[in-house]
Amino acid sequence: MSLLERIDGPRDLKALPAAQLPALADEIRAFLVDQVSRTGGHLGPNLGVVELTIALHRVFDSPTDTVVFDTGHQSYVHKLLTGRRDFSALRKQGGMSGYPSRAESPHDVVENSHASTSLSWAHGIAAGRVVRGERNRHTVAVIGDGALTGGMAWEAINNIAAEDDLPLVLVVNDNERSYAPTRGGLADHLATLRTTRGYERFLDWGKRNVSRTPVVGGAMYETLHGVKKGIKDIVAPQGMFEDLGLKYIGPVDGHDEPALEAALRKARAFGGPVLVHVLTQKGRGYDPAITDEADQFHAVGVINPETGLPLEIAGRSWTDEFAETMVALGEERRDVVAITAAMMMPVGLQPFCDRFPERTFDVGIAEQHAMTMAAGLAFSGLHPVVAVYATFLNRAFDQLLMDCALHRAGVTVVLDRSGVTGPDGASHHGMWDMTISGVVPGLHLAAPRDGQQVARAVRAAVAIDDAPSVVRFPKGTVAEPIEAVRTVGGVDVLAEPDADAVDVLLVGVGSMAATALTAAEKLTAEGHRVRVVDPVWALPVPDEVVTLARAAGRVAVVEDNVVVGGIGSQVTQALRDAGLDQPVDVFGLPKRFLEHASRGQVLDAAQLTPDAVATRLRDRLA
């Protein structure tokens, strides 16, 4: 039996002799490479936290003590050490989640995989236990992969530092990266912490030299004490944390398990908030990850474990279409600039950055700042393009509304991974963005139906200089181009009978246009007259959609957004405002959190397949 097979929980780990821990770490890394290469998942981050997670579970008593993981994708080792060794269906329907999951284990607490939230969660848990008189229970927040660049983390630190007796440990997993190397002033500060000798050692040096040169050495020693604060800020920049009121321990080698245990035990015994600064290497122990300068295997698909190369070569992606368009626009227009929140490569801005580095801004995990900075860039005469995952638009809604829309800022927001994303689960589905966008006055939203339409939509969006614009598209390989039969105003008619009047006007939004077309084919084969349109620009609802609706017995909208407040709701309102009373059927995602599964499985469960849409419409047309 391997060491890993003997561990069903933290108790078993604590019983393991310290001399066997290096072998256990090796087993865990081999297990992760073998298993994640079969399923895909977040490999690099987990290879980097093996010793840290071992030390956490040897020092603290989970689940009595609570461990909260920021960007919960770094929790695979935690899952292993809490008895979950079946990774065969990782991130697949019915299998283990790629993030902490309360349904899986009492050791898991925070399921939200949006970054920079762990310190607020931990503060609330620790403070709540103090109120309940449970001071013997510790709370640990593990924040890493660039999440400390998020403003919410610093709001939490500001409050945590004011509470002297809170049994709370903040572990900064510093691997210098999020997806790519972390940028910004905080990243520079942490880099200084990694490379600077502590000021206490500097003072010790002064003490040792007093006996050698009594006058100079003594004067130096007195001077050092007289300007201790200044010297501290120069040679021990941990002073930033200590000046806030947080005890600082580190930096600690994140791959030296005994050193980690010692630091964590010291932090646990302190009795108040402590920050433990841990240095780790993303992708540790796996050569393909270490040598990958792009993202060190932050997230991988199915790969060959020996080489790290993908086993499936994907076709051209939606992101590729956007990336190519941005470079072309950059060549044509000097006023086009790009902003992203620590996701330069995943959202396709790396080629633009390589070509126009001075016109590219990576603000770290700070979507709110990105959006308001974009408003400022627009005011200065530029046209910013903010590219983020659709799920992260949620975090910047106030800035989109009050800083961009209220000020009529010409800002373009490009939302990658919109709609159903699949295996990353509830917090990563981009299913809220059209509802959010729909309440913003003056906002324009385009949902391209195929790769060719991505370029057209982005070009049209950056031509809008008096309001925010949004372009959204899904994850994965682009669909085959769908040519329009004709265009009415700005609305593309994709299929229609040889008659003006139709039984149903079927509106396919974005990538769901293909679903609408196939559903229409099924209904047409049964004798129903169906006209299929793609509004191209879904918000505001084009007048031409209302015009076409006048000739239809009913209207149906198919979208991969939550059904409440989405495009279907907007179309319904537009028809009512025009005095039309045709029934409107809305086919979208249910208002609930959707579990991880493949995109196809999620759409099937939501009845957003061509067969399901055709069946439901057939019943209403009868």
**Structural domains in the chain plus CATH codes:** 4-178+242-290 (3.40.50.970), 318-472 (3.40.50.970), 486-621 (3.40.50.920)
Residue 231 has a pLDDT of: 39
pTM assigned to the model: 0.81
CA-CA distance, 111 to 428, in Å (whole number)?
Answer: 11
Between the alpha carbon of residue 357 and those of residues 62, 351, 377, 386, 413, the distances in Å are 46, 10, 16, 15, 19
Question: For residue 538, which amino acid is it?
Answer: A
112 is in an annotated binding site: no
State the average pLDDT for the chain: 87
395 labelled catalytic: yes
CA-CA distance, 199 to 10, in Å (whole number)?
Answer: 37
Residue 220 has a pLDDT of: 40
Between the alpha carbon of residue 549 and those of residues 501, 531, 532, 580, 619, the distances in Å are 9, 10, 11, 8, 20
Q: Contact, 113 vs 91, CB < 8 A?
A: no
Overall average pLDDT of the 453-469 stretch: 97
Question: Tell me: the pLDDT tens digits for 340-361?
Answer: 998 899 999 999 999 999 999 9
Question: For residue 159, which amino acid is it?
Answer: N
CA-CA distance, 512 to 491, in Å (whole number)?
Answer: 15
* Residue 285 pLDDT class (50, 70, 90 cuts): confident
147 is in an annotated binding site: yes
Overall average pLDDT of the 409-414 stretch: 98
> Please, what is the end-to-end C-alpha distance for the chain in angstroms?
64
* Residue 308 pLDDT class (50, 70, 90 cuts): low
21 dihedral zone (left: phi>0; alpha: psi -120 to 50; beta) = alpha
Q: Contact, 263 vs 56, CB < 8 A?
A: no
Q: Contact, 163 vs 131, CB < 8 A?
A: no
Question: For residue 167, which amino acid is it?
Answer: P
Query: What is the number of other CB atoms lying within 10 angstroms of the CB of residue 493?
Result: 17
Query: Which residue in the list 176, 321, 324, 367 is annotated as catalytic?
Result: 367
Examine the pLDDT at 614 and tell me if it is beyond 90. Answer: yes
Between the alpha carbon of residue 21 and those of residues 4, 54, 58, 142, 269, the distances in Å are 10, 8, 11, 21, 23
Question: For residue 466, which amino acid is it?
Answer: D
367 is in an annotated binding site: yes
286 is in an annotated binding site: yes
**b/e sequence 165-191, b meaning 16+ C-beta within 10 Å:** ebbbbbbbbbbbbbbbbbbbebbeebe
Residue 425 has a pLDDT of: 81
CA-CA distance, 604 to 606, in Å (whole number)?
Answer: 5
206 is in an annotated binding site: no
Pairwise pLDDT comparison (188 vs 618), residue with the higher score: 618
Residue 170 has a pLDDT of: 96
Residue 609 has a pLDDT of: 95
Residue 299 has a pLDDT of: 65
Query: Which residue in the list 129, 284, 359, 395 is annotated as catalytic?
Result: 395
The angle formed by the CA atoms of residues 186, 188 and 194, to the nearest 5 degrees, is: 105
Examine the pLDDT at 101 and tell me if it is beyond 80. Answer: yes
97 is in an annotated binding site: no
Token pair 């999020």 is found at: 178
- The secondary element (H helix, E strand) that includes residue 13 is helix 10-15
187 is in an annotated binding site: no
Overall average pLDDT of the 169-196 stretch: 62
CA-CA distance, 114 to 133, in Å (whole number)?
Answer: 30
Percent pLDDT > 90 in the chain is 66
Lowest mean pLDDT among 34-38, 182-186, 318-322, 366-370: 182-186
Examine the pLDDT at 199 and tell me if it is beyond 90. Answer: no
123 is in an annotated binding site: no
CA-CA distance, 247 to 251, in Å (whole number)?
Answer: 13
Query: Which residue in the list 29, 58, 232, 282 is annotated as catalytic?
Result: 282
CA-CA distance, 342 to 366, in Å (whole number)?
Answer: 8
- The secondary element (H helix, E strand) that includes residue 203 is helix 199-210
Helix (H, G, I), strand (E, B) or coil at 128: helix
